[in-house]
């Protein structure tokens, strides 16, 4: 249900990031916008889906309140996955851009 809001927001950030990548001074920030939002959306989806698949299978004969706990865990997994994905996207992008900068500098020097 929350993905009715998350997916359109991700599409908006992907569009903004694509426009930023096309503008030379904003290119690095645009790459960050694209990767962080994509990683956050993907990991959020994976975490919440994992809760929905694993949660009901934890107990064989769960009590009545267990369904509410699974729903609460699902709703908690969305922002936790989003934050985890955003941090992972940031760290991966920072490392890849640093490696790219080193490769480009070596090409300019003629190595």
- Percentage of residues in the chain with pLDDT exceeding 70? 89
Per the structure, the complete domain to which residue 37 belongs is given by: 3-104
Give domain status of residue 110, yes or no.
no
Q: What average pLDDT does this structure show over 86-102?
A: 88
pLDDT surpasses 70 at 81 = yes
- Give residues with Cβ within 8 angstroms of 10, minimum separation 6: 37, 38, 41
pTM as predicted: 0.82
Assess contact for 27 and 21: CB atoms under 8 A.
Answer: yes
**What does the block give as tokens for 107?**
């090409």
Write the DSSP symbol of residue 64: T
Give domain status of residue 87, yes or no.
yes
Give domain status of residue 21, yes or no.
yes
Give domain status of residue 18, yes or no.
yes
Give per-residue pLDDT as tens, 55-79.
888 877 778 888 899 889 999 999 9
**What does the block give as tokens for 70?**
């699974």
């Amino acid at each position: 249900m929350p993905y009715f809001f998350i997916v359109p927001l991700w599409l908006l950030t992907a569009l903004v990031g694509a426009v930023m990548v096309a503008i030379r001074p904003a290119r690095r920030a645009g790459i960050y916008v694209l990767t962080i939002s994509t990683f956050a959306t993907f990991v959020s989806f994976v975490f919440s889906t994992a809760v929905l698949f694993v949660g009901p299978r934890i107990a064989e004969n769960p009590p009545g309140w267990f369904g509410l706990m699974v729903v609460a865990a699902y709703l908690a997994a969305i922002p936790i996955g989003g934050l985890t994905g955003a941090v992972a996207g940031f760290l991966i992008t920072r490392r890849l851009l640093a490696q790219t900068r080193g490769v480009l500098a070596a090409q300019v020097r003629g190595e």
